[in-house]
Amino acid sequence: MLLSIISFYLPSYMPEAWHYFLVYQAIHLVLFIYNLFALVKTPWVHNLGRKMLLPKLSISADADSS
């Protein structure tokens, strides 16, 4: 999506495969840094994820059993 925004504003820009790779790596680097430093200070993220996941699993289990 980031590369398509660039293409929108610069019509002559043609993204190449390595551009997508760099964006992919940048996203993973940001997520890695978040997991490394910020997640220790924000355990509520795991609690929120668990609270959102458990009802979904129970709904899926009910749908599978019927």
Please provide the DSSP assignment of 4-48 as one string: HHHHHH-TT----HHHHHHHHHHHHHHHHHIIIIIHHH-THHHHH
pTM: 0.57
Predicted pLDDT at 49: 84
Summarize pLDDT for 1-60 with one digit per residue, the tens.
888 899 999 999 899 999 999 999 999 999 999 888 887 888 888 888 888 888 877 776
Predicted pLDDT at 1: 81
